[in-house]
Amino acid sequence: MLIGVIADDFTGASDIANTLAKGVEPEGGLRTAQFPGIPTIPANEEIEAGVISLKSRTAPVEEAVADSLRALRWLADQGCQQFIFKYCSTFDSTMEGNIGPVAEALANELSAQKVVFCPAFPTTGRTVYQGHLFVLGKLLNESGMENHPLTPMMDANIKRWLQHQTEEAVGLVPNDTVKQGPEAIADALQNANERFVIGDAISDEDLLAWGEALKDAKLITGGSGIALGLPRNFVRKASSKSVGIAFTGIAGSAAILAGSCSGATRGQINVHAESNPTFAIDVPGVMSGDVTTQTLLDFFETHPGQAPLAYSSGSPDDVRAIQKQFGQEAVAEKLDNLFAETAWELVQKGYKRLVVAGGETSGAVAKAVSEALGSPAMSIGPEIDPGVPVLSVGKTEPIALALKSGNFGAPDFFAKALRMMEAGK
């Protein structure tokens, strides 16, 4: 294994796994696998990039740090030469963490002298300029992320936001330097007085420049975009272009589960509902025990051969009201368990295609599916929309998964994902 990634959630892990598997032409990408949680056995030798999916984004700081270090040590045991700490392209965190504390622990473990923080992903509208994070041209704290139910982002200045979370000084390599190319970036990093450095990036060309500048870095942190130029550093050293793991189409019964409350996901639900059966999960009913796994299974089983969607998504006001009534952590735990148990049962019933929206929801589902199939590794298939690939789990009778971050995907994402799973391209 050459590159090891520690991702703080499951959709983010799929996102960066997709980036590493694709790479850029003419070099191409690396043979990449995603692992739901920290494996207990060695990886297959053909895997060149391993992505470990944790559920550490909103975990207690001590737990997030401990899990991330365990993941790092397993990846190091597989021979990784470079490590990436992957977090969301919207820098999802609170003033207490977890990005800063985890990065500190990883940097200390690796004795990394300079660590770059670059959440930019221009393909999906995430750019960093003068240390400020923009989403589709809007400042982060005016993009809707200020309403996130778990990590409301109240400041677009990620240099300042990160400084709240760490004892390390935080610097910046600005856009003017980035535009001068990899050598200028490398010089700026070497001469920086700060150990932690925010990296500006407003285009894929900027990310490729960062990739070349960071070819010898032990630890890199960021969104999936920061990995864009990294595979070529390793492919160029090899004697031939890497060949990815082939994905063939998977047909069969399908189900869609949505737990994200983002505007993008709610829009996708509305589009899907125009021509497909949907079921709005009554969250108070879940909390009282009136809505159960069997409730969802009954819904899916009454729509064979279709593309049924069950969702708990709601408006920001609805979410706040429910969290106030039942407690934020209690609601999240109940919904995660509901989706995980439902996914496990669907796999037992022979469902072959599962589409999931929302980071927390995806984490719960991916772990359940992996356990149901006894398969620790997920292969990376074709890209559905930017940042969201098809995943294949299991060897003899594989399941197709799509794990979508809340804000990602076109309006018709759900239908598109199911089509691509079946067609294989």
pLDDT tens, position by position, for the chain (425 residues)?
Answer: 999 999 999 889 999 999 999 999 888 899 999 999 999 999 999 899 999 999 999 999 999 999 999 999 999 999 999 999 999 999 999 999 999 999 999 999 999 999 999 999 999 999 999 999 999 999 999 999 998 888 999 999 999 999 999 999 999 999 999 999 999 999 999 999 999 999 999 999 999 999 999 999 999 999 999 999 999 999 876 643 444 456 789 999 999 999 999 999 999 999 999 999 999 999 999 999 999 999 999 999 999 999 999 999 999 999 999 999 999 989 999 999 999 999 999 999 999 999 999 988 888 898 899 888 887 789 999 999 998 999 999 878 899 999 998 889 999 999 999 999 999 88
Q: Which residue has the tokens 């049962």?
A: 345
Q: Which residues contact 157 (CB under 8 A, 6 or more apart)?
A: 131, 132
Q: Which two tokens stand for residue 248?
A: 């063939």
Q: Output the pTM of the full model.
A: 0.85
Q: What fold does the segment set 3-235 form as a domain?
A: Rossmann fold (3.40.50)
pLDDT over 70 percentage in the chain:
98
Q: Which two tokens stand for residue 319?
A: 């979410």
Confidence at residue 387, expressed as pLDDT on a 0 to 100 scale? 87
- Report CA-CA distances (Å) from 239 to 93, 234, 236: 41, 10, 8
- For the chain, the first-to-last Cα distance in angstroms comes to 27
Query: Crossing angle of helices 413-423/263-273, nearest 10°?
Result: 70
Query: Crossing angle of helices 182-191/204-213, nearest 10°?
Result: 60
Residue range(s) occupied by CATH 3.40.50.10840 in the chain: 3-235
Exposure string (b/e) for 48-62, b if CB count within 10 Å is 16 or more?
bbbbbbbbbbbbebe
CATH code given to domain 254-423? 3.40.980.20
Q: Which two tokens stand for residue 250?
A: 């998977």
> What's the rounded Cα separation, in Å, for the pair 194 and 104?
13
Residue range(s) occupied by CATH 3.40.980.20 in the chain: 254-423
| Category of 108 on φ-ψ map: left (φ > 0), alpha (ψ -120 to 50) or beta | alpha
